[in-house]
Amino acid sequence: MWGKIKNWLEIRIGLDGLMKTHLTEYRVPKNINILYTLGFVALVFFSIQVITGFFLLVYYIPYSEMAFKSVQDIMGTVPYGWLFRQMHVVGSSLMVVVVLFHAIAVFFMGGYKKPRELTWIVGTFMLLITITFCLSGYLLPWSQLSYWATTIATTLPTAFPYAGEIVAKLMKGSEQVSGITLNRFFALHVMLLPLIISVLVGLHIFLVRRIGISSPPFGKSPEAEKPWTEYRHVSHPDGYSFFPDFVLKETIMVMVFCAVMFFFITFLPTLLLPEEANIPADPFKTPAHIKPEWYFLAPYQMLKIIPNKFLGISLQMIIVLLFILWPFLDTAEENNLLKRPRLRWLFFVSLILWMVFTIWGKYS
C-alpha cells in the first residue's frame, strides 16, 4: 500500500531522487556536534508559537476594554485554555533562549565566516524580529505588567534626540500607551512579523542548504584549504546521513526542550506571570517594581548606569550594528576559536557581562 503511493508520487515528481538528495544521501560532517541541532529546535519552537498563537487568537479580543477579560476567560473558562496560553508564554521565553544559544554556538564555531556571511546577517535580523515579537506580544494581555513594561520599552527610544521622539510616537500611536498602541502591536504581532520572519526563515534555510553545512572547526577543516574564488557547494561525503542519523539528534533536542517547557508549566507556572500580570491595566497607577522581561534586562540596566541618555542608546545601537556586521569585522581565516585567544577572551567577557547585566537588572 505504502509502496503504491510512493510509486504514484515517484512517477510525477521523482520522489526517490528528492528523498536521496535531501534526506538519505544528504550528509553532515562526521564531527558534527549537538549544538548544530539548535537551529531546528528554534524552528520547532517557532511553529509551537504559531500554532498556540492561532488557538489563542480564536478567543482573544484585541480591544482595550475586553482584552484582559478575554485572556482571563482563556485561562479560567475555556477548557484547556490555560494549557495553550502557558505554552505560548513559556514557549516564547524558551524560544528566545534557544535562538540565543544558536547564535552563540554559531559564533563559537565560526559559522559566520566566508562564505556564510549572508546566513549570519539574515540570522541576526531573525533574532531582532524575534525580540520584536516578544515586545509586541507582551502588550496584548493588557495587564498592569503589559502596560507598564511597554510604556518603558516605547519610551526608551526617546533617548535618541529628535528621531527618538518620532520613533516612540510611531510605536505608541498616541501620547501614552493606549488602545491605539494595542491595535498596532496586535497587527504587528499577528500579521506583519510572521510574514517577515517566514520569509527570513525560508531564506536562512535556503542559504544553509545551498552553501552546505559547515564543519565544526575543532580538528581538520578541509574547507579552509582551498581559497573561495568561485561558488562551490560544501559537501561531506564521509559524514553521517542527514536522515535518519542527524534528524534523530534533532528530535532528541526537541524532546528535551519540550520537557523543559513543561517543567516550567508544571512547577513554576507563575514565574513569567507574576501578580501584576493578573491585574487589569491602570494608566494612573504604576506598580511598585515594574521591570522589562528578562531578555530586555541587560540593555535596560546598561541604559540605567550610563549617565548620558544619548550615549547609552548610541552604545546599544553600536553593539547591535557590530553584532549584525561581525562577519565583515572578523575576516581572519582561522575558524577555530580555541586557537584565537583574544577573540575567545572577547567572546567570554561579552557573555559574562551580558549575564551580569541581566542579573543586576533583575535585582536593582
Partner 1 sequence: MKRRRFLNLLLTILGLTAVGSFVYPLVRFLAPAGGKAEAKQITLKKSEIPVGTAKEIPLNNTPAIIINRPDKGFVALSRVCTHLGCLVEYDKIRNRLICPCHGALFDLEGNVVSGPPPKPLPKFPIKVESESILIG
Partner 2 sequence: MRYILPLLLILILPPASQADWKEQFEKEFLARPWAGPQVPQDVCIECHSSDMMKPEARDIPRKWETSWHYQNGISCHNCHGGDPKDAENAMSPQRGFVGTPKYAQVPEFCGKCHVGILKNFLESGHGKALKSSGKGPNCVTCHSAHDNRKASINIINEQLCTKCHPYERVKVMKQALFVTENKMNEIDKSLKELKTEGVFTEEEEKNFFSTQAQFRTLFHTEDVSLVRRQTDEFVNKLDQVKVKIQKTFEELRFRRDFSAFLMMLFVGMAIGFWVLSKNPKE
Grid look-up 516550567 returns 264
* Minimum CB distance to partner 1, residue 251 (Å): 9
Spatial neighbors of 25 by CB under 8 A, at least 6 apart, are 241
Alpha carbon distance 225, 74 (integer Å)? 58
Spatial neighbors of 105 by CB under 8 A, at least 6 apart, are 35, 36, 38, 111
| Window contacting partner 2 (CB under 8 A); options: 202-210, 214-222, 301-309, 337-345 | 301-309
Note whether 288 binds partner 2 by CB under 8 A: yes
Q: What residues between 266 and 285 interact with partner 2 by CB under 8 A?
A: 266-267, 269-270, 273, 275, 277-278
Grid look-up 482563556 returns 74
C-alpha distances out from residue 117 to 111, 286, 323, 347, 361, Å: 8, 45, 12, 18, 33
The residue within the footprint of partner 2, chosen from 75, 100, 180, 224 (CB under 8 A), is 75
Q: Which does 197 bind (CB under 5 to 8 A by kind): partner 2, partner 1, none?
A: none
Beta partners for 64? none
SS (H, E, C) 271-285: CCCCHHHHCECCCCC
* Minimum CB distance to partner 2, residue 342 (Å): 14
Nearer to partner 1, 58 or 346 (CB): 58
* Minimum CB distance to partner 2, residue 203 (Å): 27
The residue within the footprint of partner 2, chosen from 1, 11, 259, 332 (CB under 8 A), is 259
Nearer to partner 1, 278 or 336 (CB): 278
C-alpha distances out from residue 255 to 37, 126, 232, 364, Å: 12, 23, 35, 36
DSSP 334-360: ---GGG-HHHHHHHHHHHHHHHHHHHH
Q: What residues between 36 and 95 interact with partner 1 by CB under 8 A?
A: 55, 58, 78-81, 83-84
* Minimum CB distance to partner 2, residue 321 (Å): 8
At residue 238's C-alpha, the angle toward residues 236 and 242, to 5°, is: 65
Contact positions toward partner 2, by CB under 8 A? 72, 75-76, 82-83, 86, 148, 151-152, 155, 159, 245, 248-249, 251-252, 255-256, 258-259, 262-263, 265-267, 269-270, 273, 275, 277-278, 286, 288, 290, 303-304, 307-311, 314, 318, 329
Contact positions toward partner 1, by CB under 8 A? 55, 58, 78-81, 83-84
